[in-house]
Chains A and B, each alone.
Chain A
Amino acid sequence: MSSTKKTVKFVAPFALYKWAKNFKRVQDKFYANQYKLRRIQQVEDFIVLNNFQKVHHIEEVRIDLELPKTLFTSDINVADLVLVTHQGYSRYPCKGIVEQIQEWLADCPKLYLCLNRHYINIDNQTIDMELPDDFQTAITVWLQKSLPECTIIDLSRNYMDYGSHFTWSLPDRHYYIEKK
């Protein structure tokens, strides 16, 4: 090591940036705020076109939905739709994601869930060789196998994500889930 005149303090690796909540707004500035992420429009259209009236939104990154505030409720028990864009749940173990979905559905029968594909099976504890080889399809089939009591509709577009699809602004895999 070089002989620096400064003292060096070694610490455990820590989060150097704390901008997660503003991540989308930072990416919006790449384009001078002129464009809207298609997936956000998809979420808004889903809510409006299906006439949901009380949406309980669980978010982390602020996605700035352009919908009336009166459409949202902080009480999941009075909601007619739970919307989850918080990608922290994608970092749950697979078993935990399934349990969490069941919990949400116990409080509200309809769920719009956004998952970040890159976090799925974060802990390397779920390996299922019977799933399709295509990872995107595999996520859908894994959810369907894990929640046979539910109807699960994959609302995602399939594409290879090379880090240029704003996935950390709004997760890429979108599912509508309701109890059968």
Chain B
Amino acid sequence: MKKLIEHFSDYPMVQSDTHDYRRYRMGRLKHQLWLHNRKRDEIILDTHDKFILDNLQPGNTCVFGSAGYYLEEVIPKLTVIEQWPIVKKFYPKAQIIENRSEIAEINGRMFDNFIVVNNRGDIWCELSVVEKHIANYVKSMKPGCLFFYSFRDTQIVNWNRLKVNHKQYFHDFGLHIEKTCNLNLLWHDIKFAKKQKDGTGNYDIWENPDTTNGNIKFVFEYQTKTKIIND
């Protein structure tokens, strides 16, 4: 009989590039877009990408933990930062960091736009930990930097989904980090599944309206509040 496992850390995982690549891909959905687009003349991006591209300001853009190289052809002055060393194997230009504090240590306060889209490394924690991540990101932002941040409600930990109004919970979080991280909330889009029975009396089994980019979306401006976000 096989030994039983309950948690990732119960036994050591396989150590190989294949393993690292597989795990990286499982958590970076938009890597698939890069695989698709790099060999084609017509590239596919989604409407959330368009929303970001339409609202970027000129200057330096950082994409962290979101397979940002898929945006290389449409964002000039792009810095892609990841936490998985395997990324260097297929995208040598990536900056690889271990801790988020290194983003500012390496780059200084240089970014005019900072993007995090459904980064699995940011979630699977309480919102208080997400706040700590964001506190590290702002250290690399110029005043006026636009900060695009999105994630999924289903992968935020330690809240009672049966006692807490989801929409209020996440909106309050946006308002909270305005104060603690010197950000100004310019725009938000917080959506949950709408369930209605179909003609056969069943509900659909889908999760939230955007599992790829996340159903909780914010745009902040660092320090100032001068920009208008168009959606």
Interface residues of A (CB under 8 A from B): 1-2, 4, 6-17, 26, 29-32, 34-39, 41, 88-89, 91-94, 96, 117-129, 131, 133-135, 138-139, 142, 157, 160-166
In contact, B195 and A13 (Cβ under 8 angstroms): no
Interface residues of B (CB under 8 A from A): 1-11, 13-14, 19, 22-23, 26, 29-30, 32-33, 37, 40-50, 53-54, 56, 73-76, 120, 123-125, 154-155, 157-167, 192-195, 197, 203, 205-208, 210-213
A147-B45 Cα distance, complex, nearest whole Å: 45
In contact, A123 and B3 (Cβ under 8 angstroms): no
Q: Is chain B's interface secondary structure helix, strand, loop, or mixed overall? A: loop
> Chain B contacts of A162 at CB under 8 A?
124-125, 157
Contact among A1, A32, A138 with B162 in the assembled complex (CB-CB below 8 Å): A138
> Taking each of A10, A12, A35, A89, which has the highest tally of chain B beta carbons within 10 Å of its own beta carbon?
A10
Inter-chain residue pair count (beta carbon < 8 A): 186
In contact, B161 and A135 (Cβ under 8 angstroms): yes
A2-B76 Cα distance, complex, nearest whole Å: 6
In contact, A16 and B195 (Cβ under 8 angstroms): no
> Taking each of A122, A123, A125, A139, which has the highest tally of chain B beta carbons within 10 Å of its own beta carbon?
A122
Contact among B11, B157, B163 with A160 in the assembled complex (CB-CB below 8 Å): B157
Whose C-beta in chain A lies nearest to the C-beta of B76?
Answer: A2
In contact, B42 and A9 (Cβ under 8 angstroms): yes
A51-B139 Cα distance, complex, nearest whole Å: 61
In contact, A6 and B73 (Cβ under 8 angstroms): yes
> Chain B contacts of A93 at CB under 8 A?
195, 203
Q: In the assembled complex, how far is the CB of residue B28 from the closest CB belonging to chain A, in whole angstroms?
A: 10
Whose C-beta in chain B lies nearest to the C-beta of A28?
Answer: B5
Assuming the contacts A122-B193, A126-B162, A127-B164, asked whether A35 and B2 have C-beta atoms less than 8 A apart, the reply is: yes
